């Protein structure tokens, strides 16, 4: 209608990949044209000072428009409310079920950095049915024109709609009043804290009837530094009475902390009774005595103001710093001057605290809780030009008072490795691991870096459980800055316990290393292969040497000849237990099929992520993928839950209760490969809420034939194919209740059962391709004794000549 007034605008990004400048432009336009703006998007958690959050604050002040913003879907951790929901002015929305239980995915507070109350309210956001945009596949279909989906983005429109009703009822109200009415009238869940639900779930009838408003709508008293002052922390709350009659409010406060209800007297509201005149205002003071808190951490609660049927609920939040001290890091650059680009990371050894900051003037003061820390500092010569870095690793920094440390980049030195039998070898990659305690303890692993630019300083401290490991890769240079055509690679690992040594020079005898002959076939994807440093046209053979007794993760990247256009990769993990010849390892050979790497299919709380390998080669411990087209579907109790137009990829939000699921994926690699060109898999399993991260018990049938150098079998020739069943997350083969293998010689048009046999504990099938067959397809059904099942099809598993 030409004379209609725009009440609600909506700003959203393109599946989370929108440019910030476009979002800001959309916010500007919407604020100028709407009374209420719905923002169904979110970035990383912030303290509310990021550009988008500041834009929300500015636009709210300039226009009076209310921004209703999704809290985010990172509810597995506290301090997870994202930008721009972290903005002070935003009405930030969490998600609840239709029974008012907090959705597991709903991001929660307190706000990062200052302990402010966020989110502000909640609304239904689980299994919400809404209109389906043409050409999209989001959510589970409900008929032809609707889908059901879950997320705080599904909760926010409920609140924006409620705010629109208020804006129509009160045309003179601005953002502050709309926000105050919605929060004051919200219905809290008794079992949830204000950092989980804010004021509670919105109540539209209650908001429309709300005649008393509080300003601020929530009282965030911030972070109180240690040691605590004897003076209580105070904040005034102004009550506005929009009715025609005076209102006398009974005022009280309640507060809970990390250990339950706060001590009596910690929160007080004065006066305890307050009369607000008709159309007028009156003030009360909220006071929190932190000296009687009993423990540090976040405290949250409500100030309740009630008069008959009128109730105003105002969330209150305050965070008490634990015993902490100022720890100052001074960094000198390679010229002995104050470093202009440096980074510090500190992780407490008990795993409770982690701090990270970038500093630009040579000095950084950190507020660090009392304890022992692992510390990493990197001083950059030129961060933008990828120049030299000086890396410092301190295994044990004790913070028990105000203290400082000075680090000098001029003390850092390069790593040097000499190989006695390969004088033409050059170090091409360097990886550093500095870990305190077992795997997963505090520390850092750098990944592969240029050994010429990374310099390392000896540590000033030590720790008995600290391991400092230097891993290097070497090959013969090609004279053009690379290692094209090198006949060998060398992988060396050296570990020092306790501290970073002063001398980083290592002498290695090749005779003490494990030797492996790696044969790289051209049967799979790509024309060119790259094994770490070495690039060569497929097929090629490489002699490799490894430090024995440690685990090595190696990779073969596959590409097309022009500019090495990447099309896929194969990955392998292995420990070579002895020095000397360890035989032959083949890469990129059929049969390619599903496999699992650690945590590739796992559930954490109510999230399930699915990223298996669908085109792994047959080697033990191998995984791999190539560029494919396809889809992934998840069914719960027979009904489609969600579909992704991606093969072997998806993240699903599931209900808590135990349910039967069917997970289906299809990967079409026919544009890249003549073998294993189509892989289909269908898994059936049960799953329920997981406390922590749990591997989902999917099965994969692995076919491991020895097809020779050309990866082809002759027609009429019997081929013995070892068959192995892998269970995700388990190094041992599962106990099977059933296994059936079928073969097809006409591209999957017809199938024939091939019996599997067992020899010395190993399963195998024997397949004979008839004359005229171009390839052999394989199909299998496997079921373990726990009821987990896989139906797996590989079209064109290997070629026949």
Q: How many CB atoms lie within 10 A of CB 773?
A: 20
Say whether both 297 and 393 belong to one domain.
no
Residue 435 in any domain: the answer is no
Q: Is the same domain home to 203 and 312? A: no
Instruction: Give the three-class secondary structure for 60.
Output: helix
* The Cα angle at residue 342 between residues 339 and 348, in degrees rounded to 5: 130
pLDDT at 438: 65
pLDDT above 60 for 556: yes
Same domain, 75 and 202: yes
On whether the CB atoms of residues 379 and 407 are closer than 8 A, the answer is yes
**Tokens 């604020």 — which residue?**
31
Give the pLDDT mean for 595-608.
91
Question: 242, 212 in Cβ contact below 8 A?
Answer: yes
The strand pairing partners of 248, in sequence order, are 275
Among residues 210, 240, 273, which one ends one of the domains?
A: 210
- CATH number, domain at 192? 3.40.50.200
Query: The domain that contains 357 carries what CATH number?
Result: 2.60.40
Burial class of 437 by CB neighbour count within 10 A (0 to 12, 13 to 18, 19+) = middle
Q: How confident is the model at residue 474 (pLDDT cuts 50, 70, 90)?
A: very high
Which residues lie below 8 Å from residue 560, measured CB to CB, with a gap of 6+? 526, 527, 528, 567
Neighbouring CB atoms inside 10 A of 464's CB total: 10
**pLDDT, tens only, 86-107:** 999 999 999 999 999 999 899 9
Band of pLDDT at residue 5, cut at 50, 70 and 90: low
Residue 29 has pLDDT above 90, yes or no: no
State whether 235 and 297 are in the same domain: yes
pLDDT of residue 628: 93
Q: What is the pLDDT of residue 653?
A: 84
- Look at residue 436 and tell me if it is in a domain: no
Q: What range does the domain containing 760 cover?
A: 593-800
- Number of C-alpha atoms within 13 angstroms, CB side, residue 266? 23
Q: How confident is the model at residue 440 (pLDDT cuts 50, 70, 90)?
A: low
The answer to whether the CB of 604 falls within 8 A of the CB of 689 is: no
Instruction: Note whether 123 and 202 are within 8 A (CB).
Output: yes
CA 593 to chain CA centroid, Å, is: 26
Are residues 197 and 339 located together in one domain of the fold? no
Q: Which residues contact 743 (CB under 8 A, 6 or more apart)?
A: 751, 752, 754, 765, 767, 776, 777, 778, 779
- What DSSP letter does each residue of 242-265 carry, written as one string? -SSS-EEEEEEEEEEETTEEPPTT
Average model confidence (pLDDT) for the chain? 92
pTM equals 0.79
Q: Are residues 187 and 266 in the same domain?
A: no
Last residue of some domain: 284, 300, 320?
A: 320
3-state secondary structure of 579: coil
User: Domain holding 302: CATH number?
Assistant: 2.60.40.2310
pLDDT digits (tens, 9 = 90+) for 304-360: 999 998 999 999 999 999 999 999 999 999 999 999 999 999 999 988 888 888 888
Reported residue count of the chain is: 801
Asked whether residue 22 carries a pLDDT value surpassing 90, the answer given is: no
476 in any annotated domain: no
pLDDT digits (tens, 9 = 90+) for 729-762: 998 999 999 999 999 999 999 999 999 998 888 8
Backbone φ, ψ for residue 20 (5° rounding): -60, -35
Task: Give the three-class secondary structure for 176.
Answer: helix
Domain boundary among 301, 320, 339: 320
CB 417 within 8 Å of CB 472: yes
Residues 734 and 693 placed together within one structural domain of the fold: yes
Residue 348 and residue 244 share a domain: no
| Residue 432 maps to a domain | no
Cα 483–chain centre separation = 35
Same domain, 314 and 337: no
pLDDT at residue 6 greater than cutoff 80: no
In tens, the pLDDT along 638-659 reads 899 889 999 998 889 888 899 9
Rounded Cα distance between 364 and 326, Å, is 10
E strands present in 88-152: 91-96, 121-124, 128-131, 140-142, 146-149
In 111-186, at which residue ranges do the beta strands (DSSP E only) sit?
121-124, 128-131, 140-142, 146-149
pLDDT band at 17; cut points 50, 70, 90: very low
pLDDT at 1: 40
Tokens of 586: 């083949």
301 token code pair = 């609660």
Mean pLDDT, residues 563-577:
91
Mean pLDDT of 538-546: 96
Same domain, 566 and 601: no
Q: Map 654-675 to HEC letters.
A: CCCCCEEEEEEEEEECCCCCCC
Query: Looking at residues 428-433, what average pLDDT do you find?
Result: 95
Residue 643 lies in a domain: yes
pLDDT category at 248 given cuts 50, 70, 90 is very high
Instruction: Please measure the distance between the N-terminal and C-terminal CA atoms of the chain and give it in whole angstroms.
Output: 71
pLDDT digits (tens, 9 = 90+) for 358-388: 888 899 999 999 999 999 999 999 877 678 9
More confident residue, 39 or 390: 390
CB distance 52 to 20 below 8 Å: yes
On the question of pLDDT at 7 being above 70, the answer is no
The answer to whether position 442 is within a domain reads no
For range 217-226, the mean pLDDT: 93
Taking the C-alpha atoms of residue 470 and residue 432, their distance in angstroms, rounded to an integer, is: 5
Tokens 């009405």 belong to residue: 91
Neighbours of 468 (CB within 10 A): 23
pLDDT digits (tens, 9 = 90+) for 387-399: 899 999 999 999 9
% of the chain at pLDDT higher than 70: 97
pLDDT digits (tens, 9 = 90+) for 674-696: 999 999 999 999 999 998 899 99
Widest distance between CA atoms in the chain: 99
Q: How many domains does the chain have?
A: 5
What percent of the chain lies above the pLDDT cut of 90? 76
One domain for residues 690 and 794: yes
User: CA 247 to CA 261: how far, in whole Å?
Assistant: 30
Q: How far apart, in whole angstroms, are the C-alpha atoms of residue 583 and residue 70?
A: 57
Helix (H) or strand (E) holding 525: none
**Predicted pLDDT at 14:** 46
Average pLDDT over residues 610-617: 95
Nearest CA-CA partner of 309 in 229, 250, 265, 375? 250
- pLDDT-derived band at 437, boundaries 50, 70, 90: confident
Neighbours of 391 (CB within 10 A): 21
Residue 33 is assigned to a structural domain of this protein: yes
Rounded average pLDDT over 480-497 = 95
**In which band, very low, low, confident or very high, does the pLDDT at 118 lie, cut at 50, 70 and 90?**
very high
Exposure string (b/e) for 50-60, b if CB count within 10 Å is 16 or more? bebbbbbbebb
For residues 245 and 157, state if they share a domain. Answer: no
- CA-based radius of gyration for the chain: 31
3-state secondary structure of 628: coil
Q: Over 60: is that where the pLDDT of 18 sits?
A: no
Predicted local distance difference test score (pLDDT) of residue 16: 44
Residue 635 located in a structural domain: yes
């Amino acid at each position: 209608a030409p004379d209609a007034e725009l009440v609600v605008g909506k700003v959203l990004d393109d599946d989370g990949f929108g440019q910030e400048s476009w979002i800001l432009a959309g916010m500007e336009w919407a604020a100028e044209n709407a009374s209420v703006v719905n923002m169904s998007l979110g970035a990383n958690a912030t303290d509310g000072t990021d550009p988008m959050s500041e834009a929300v604050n500015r636009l709210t002040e300039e226009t009076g428009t209310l921004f209703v913003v999704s809290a985010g879907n990172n509810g597995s951790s506290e301090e997870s409310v994202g930008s721009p929901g972290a903005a002070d002015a935003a009405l930030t929305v969490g998600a609840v079920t239709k029974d008012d239980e907090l959705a597991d995915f709903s991001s929660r507070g307190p706000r990062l950095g200052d302990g402010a109350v966020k989110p502000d309210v909640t609304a239904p956001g689980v299994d919400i049915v809404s209109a389906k945009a043409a050409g999209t596949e989001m959510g589970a279909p409900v008929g032809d024109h609707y889908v059901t989906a879950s997320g705080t983005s599904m909760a926010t429109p409920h609140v924006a709609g409620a705010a629109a009703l208020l804006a129509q009822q009160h045309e003179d109200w601005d953002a502050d009043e709309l926000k105050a009415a919605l929060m004051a009238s919200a219905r809290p869940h008794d079992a949830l804290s204000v950092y989980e639900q804010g004021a509670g779930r919105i109540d539209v009838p209650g908001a429309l009837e709300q005649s008393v408003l509080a300003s601020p709508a929530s009282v965030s008293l911030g972070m109180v530094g240690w040691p605590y002052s004897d003076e209580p922390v105070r904040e005034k709350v102004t009550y506005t009475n929009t009715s025609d009659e005076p209102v006398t409010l009974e005022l009280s406060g309640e507060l809970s902390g990390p250990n339950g209800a706060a001590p009596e007297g910690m929160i007080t509201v004065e006066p305890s009774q307050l009369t607000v005149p008709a159309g007028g205002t009156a003030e009360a003071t909220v006071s929190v005595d932190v000296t009687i808190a009993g423990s540090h951490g976040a405290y949250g609660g409500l100030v309740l103001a009630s008069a008959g049927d009128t109730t105003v609920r105002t969330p209150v939040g305050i965070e008490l710093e634990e015993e902490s001290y100022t720890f100052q890091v001074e960094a000198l650059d390679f010229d002995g001057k104050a470093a202009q680009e440096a980074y510090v990371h500190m992780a407490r050894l008990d795993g409770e605290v982690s701090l990270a900051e970038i500093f630009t003037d040579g000095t950084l003061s950190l507020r660090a809780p009392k304890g022992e820390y692992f510390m990493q500092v990197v001083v950059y010569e030129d961060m933008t030009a990828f120049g030299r870095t000086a890396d410092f690793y301190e295994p044990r920094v004790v913070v028990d008072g105000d203290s400082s440390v000075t680090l000098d980049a001029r003390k850092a030195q390069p790593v040097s490795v000499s190989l006695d039998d390969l004088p033409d070898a050059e170090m091409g990659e360097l990886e550093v691991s500095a870990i305190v305690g077992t795997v997963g303890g505090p520390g850092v692993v750098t990944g592969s870096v240029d050994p010429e630019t990374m310099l390392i300083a000896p540590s000033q401290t030590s720790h008995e459980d600290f391991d400092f490991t230097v891993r290097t890769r070497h090959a013969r240079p090609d004279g053009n800055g690379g290692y094209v055509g090198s006949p060998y690679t060398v992988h060396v690992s050296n570990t020092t316990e306790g501290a970073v040594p002063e001398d980083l020079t290592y002498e290695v005898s090749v005779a003490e290393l494990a030797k492996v002959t790696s044969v790289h076939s051209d049967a799979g994807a790509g024309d060119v292969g790259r094994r770490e440093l070495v690039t060569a046209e497929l097929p090629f053979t490489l002699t490799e040497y490894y430090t024995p007794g440690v685990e090595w993760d190696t990779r073969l990247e596959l590409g097309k000849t022009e500019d090495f256009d990447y099309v896929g990769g194969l990955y392998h993990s292995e420990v070579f237990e002895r020095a000397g010849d360890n035989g032959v390892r083949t890469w990129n050979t059929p049969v390619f099929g599903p496999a699992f790497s650690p945590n590739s299919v796992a559930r954490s709380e109510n999230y399930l992520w699915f990223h298996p390998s669908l085109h792994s080669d047959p080697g033990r411990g191998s995984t791999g993928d190539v560029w494919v087209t396809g889809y992934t579907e998840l069914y719960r109790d027979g009904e489609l839950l969600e579909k992704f137009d991606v093969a072997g990829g998806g993240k699903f939000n599931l209900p808590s209760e135990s349910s039967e699921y069917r997970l289906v994926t299809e990967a079409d690699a026919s544009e890249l490969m003549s073998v294993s060109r189509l892989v289909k898999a269908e898994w059936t399993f049960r799953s329920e809420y997981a406390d922590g991260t749990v591997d989902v018990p999917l099965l994969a049938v692995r076919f491991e034939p020895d097809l020779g150098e050309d990866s082809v079998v002759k027609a009429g020739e019997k081929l013995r194919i070892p068959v192995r069943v892998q269970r995700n997350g388990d190094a041992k083969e599962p106990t099977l209740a059933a296994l059936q293998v079928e073969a097809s010689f006409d591209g999957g048009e017809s199938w024939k059962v091939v019996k599997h046999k067992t020899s010395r504990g190993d399963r195998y099938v024997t397949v004979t391709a008839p004359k005229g067959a171009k390839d052999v397809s394989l199909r299998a059904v496997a079921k373990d004794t726990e009821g987990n099942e896989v139906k797996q099809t590989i079209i064109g598993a290997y070629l026949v000549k």
